Amino acid sequence: MAQDTSSAENDVLNPPTETASEIVVTGSRIVRRDFESSSPIVTVDDSLLQQSSTAAVESNLNKLPQFTPTLDAPTDGGDIQPTARNTPGAATVALRGLGSNRTLVLIDGRRGTPSNASNVVDINSIPSAALERVEVISGGASATYGADAVAGVVNFIMRKDFEGLELDAQANVTQEGDGFEYQVSGIMGTDFDDGRGNISLSFSTNDRNASYRKDRDYFLDYWADPSIDGTGFFPYRPGINLGFTSAPDPTVMNAIFDQASGPISPAGTLIYANPDGTVFSGFDPAGVPGAYRNKIVDGYNYKLLDNGQLGTNFTDAMLVLPLKRYNMYARGNYELNDWIGVFAQGLFSKVSTRTVQEPSPVTGGWTAFVDYDPNNPQNDLPSEIVQILNSRRTLITPAQGSPGQADYVPAVYGAPGSAASDPFQIFQMMPFNRTSDTDVYTYNMTVGLEGTIPSTDWTWEVFGSQGETETTVIQRGFASLQRYRTLINAPNFGEGFSATGNAEFGGFGGATATCTSGLNPFSGDPISEDCLEAIRANVKTKSVMKQSIWEANLQGGLFDMPAGQLRGAFGASYRSTDYEFQNDTLTTQGQSFQEQVLGLYPSGNSEGKITVKEVYGELLVPLLHDIPGIKKLGSGPIKLLAWGMIG
């Protein structure tokens, strides 16, 4: 049933006005003269788009209470990891918070072409210039449409039998002066052969610049609020990670961290360097939360939380993603005779987006160990870090065979046999943000026959559909972990470094790398371009989704019953989906044993095929009608299906 709305909303949410004509309501394949459905339905007309400051269809739909916009693309600018089930920058819709993969997207009642293995449709591929309205089933519709409609259905209805020429242009900018966006679109169509046929063509181009959170006062207040965690994961200051097997002497640590609140146990602690070379930690050396001795809190990049911990903000986060989009849509239909017609429609879209995330951290599985000699240091380090490193001794815990509490070996600080010459684990943030530039090409072609059975109210439709989505993601701002480790472990953190690959054979096929400045994270000096080029590792992923559908539908009245006419709909469909996701060699899990990408999790390649065969039947059985306490009581649909999966 179309949802009732207040008069103030009637220009956006328009339930259809009851007439005597027969219609198909989304959520049922049975044509009827009323507008009643067992699932709640909301109809959104094109005025929602025309009166909006953005051309993003998904953003406008997310204004409705039925949708959950948490993962909608314009506000998910930190997603940089493409996988078989995730496309950075994709615009999706999710009903009732159950996820976009449980919300079925249709175009004129037929399945759209998915963008990845989760079978979600990128709403950016919908040609908005030809959009007439959107019908939303906000309740489950799996009995009619299948298991992927558990949360509901979003049906984009395109214009049909359009005549004339319509052009539209709009532009907008935010009140902060950023996020400039424009869209130019048009549709033209004409009848031919005395109105027996119609053909229409539409196009649109949409360009949107990014908007940034740092330009909004409410985000600045959010970043400065000590009761809210920071939006970044790591401090942007360099440091060292103290291990559990060789730990600094408590006396040295206590002298440096003289504000410690309890006994010192420095093993496993991250120590960072202030800009002046002194050190600080996000935790008390005893493990008590507290950003001790830091000189970086500014209420913007860093803040001190109510619990004493240090909060870090990623200040380059985007509020709205940049986007470039091109759509084309064509439709034609022709009546062969009074009972049979042929129709065809096709769409093509290209969508480009960019997402951004904070720089890669040298930590965890992407860590690096740097050689260290206290008697002949090869690197220029802050004096307090030198004191900490020189005081290290081997720490033997009870679990390693020493009874009682942990013991230091040697027992006396400074005695022979210390661990001062052990390599140390460095912490560093790369100097550039990580980005993903995503290009998505989508096409879909549908051809079919439709008609009526003479002397009855039965209608039928047979169609075939072929669609394909090709996605390419180029990821920049990443570094080769192996090359980084080579440079950071060279004298002076790689300053003046030069090396040629495959040197044994005259450098055949290999590159020559130089590094003028070195990668010294403690100096505060900028890293030279040749050093960045020496460790840079841009990667590329590609995926292809192909979908073929063959479907036949038949519906009409069967016979009259006391409470009304018994009506039915019957049909069968065959759907085949082929998908392939190919990682870059450097990011393919289990592929590269020599080189890895610093700051990007490896994932597996994916390839598979799913076939679904469905037979459905739906009966509208009028059981009771206009009796006390009951206006109308009827039955619901049934569906049988068989499916198979390869890969």
The percentage of residues in the chain with a pLDDT greater than 70, rounded to a whole number, is 82
Whether residues 391 and 521 fall in one domain: no
pLDDT digits (tens, 9 = 90+) for 138-167: 776 776 777 788 888 999 999 999 999 999
pLDDT digits (tens, 9 = 90+) for 291-334: 678 889 899 999 988 887 888 999 999 999 999 999 999 999 99
Taking phi over 0 as left and psi of -120 to 50 as alpha, with beta for the rest, 404 belongs to left
How far apart (Å, rounded) are the C-alpha atoms in residues 248 and 552? Answer: 75
- pLDDT reported for residue 634: 61
How far apart (Å, rounded) are the C-alpha atoms in residues 279 and 284? Answer: 12
Q: What is the count of structural domains for the chain? A: 3
Closest CA to 127 of 54, 198, 206, 66: 206
| CATH number of the domain that residue 94 is part of | 2.170.130.10
The answer to whether the CB of 112 falls within 8 A of the CB of 444 is yes
First to last CA, the chain: 41
Domain boundary among 137, 158, 179: 158
CA torsion angle 258 260 261 263 (round to 10) = -100
81-90, 547-556, 628-637: range with lowest mean pLDDT: 628-637
User: On the CB side of 472, how many CA atoms lie within 13 Å of its CA?
Assistant: 6
The mean pLDDT of 191-208, rounded to a whole number, is 95
Q: Please indicate, yes or no, if residue 481 is contained in any of the structural domains.
A: no
Q: Please indicate, yes or no, if residue 64 is contained in any of the structural domains.
A: yes
Whether residues 42 and 131 fall in one domain: yes
Q: Please indicate, yes or no, if residue 22 is contained in any of the structural domains.
A: yes
Whether residues 35 and 117 fall in one domain: yes
Range of the domain at 522: 486-536
Whether residues 399 and 503 fall in one domain: no
- pLDDT reported for residue 19: 40
Query: Cis omega (within 30 of 0) on the bond before 521?
Result: no
Whether residues 132 and 12 fall in one domain: yes
**pTM, full prediction:** 0.85
Whether residues 33 and 138 fall in one domain: yes
Statement: residue 29 has pLDDT above 70: no
Whether residues 114 and 244 fall in one domain: no
Whether residues 108 and 248 fall in one domain: no
Whether residues 32 and 124 fall in one domain: yes
pLDDT digits (tens, 9 = 90+) for 561-594: 887 888 888 889 999 999 999 999 888 888 878 8
Token readout for 184 is 């130019």
Q: What angle do CA 246, 250, 251 make, to 5 degrees?
A: 130
Domain boundary among 143, 158, 173: 158
Whether residues 17 and 145 fall in one domain: yes
What residues contact residue 573 under an 8 Å CB cut-off, 6+ apart?
549, 550, 551, 552, 612, 613, 614
Statement: residue 59 has pLDDT above 70: yes
Statement: residue 269 has pLDDT above 50: yes
DSSP state of 531: H
Alpha helices in 411-528 (DSSP H): 481-488
How far apart (Å, rounded) are the C-alpha atoms in residues 274 and 288? Answer: 20
Between 29 and 205, residue with greater pLDDT: 205
Q: Please indicate, yes or no, if residue 352 is contained in any of the structural domains.
A: no
Q: Please indicate, yes or no, if residue 630 is contained in any of the structural domains.
A: no
Q: Please indicate, yes or no, if residue 593 is contained in any of the structural domains.
A: no
Domain boundary among 103, 134, 158: 158
Residue 536: C-alpha distances to residues 363, 473, 493, 529 (Å): 18, 17, 16, 10
Closest CA to 555 of 638, 620, 624, 641: 620
Q: Please indicate, yes or no, if residue 413 is contained in any of the structural domains.
A: yes
What residues contact residue 505 under an 8 Å CB cut-off, 6+ apart?
none
Whether residues 139 and 61 fall in one domain: yes
Between 35 and 290, residue with greater pLDDT: 290
Q: Please indicate, yes or no, if residue 532 is contained in any of the structural domains.
A: yes
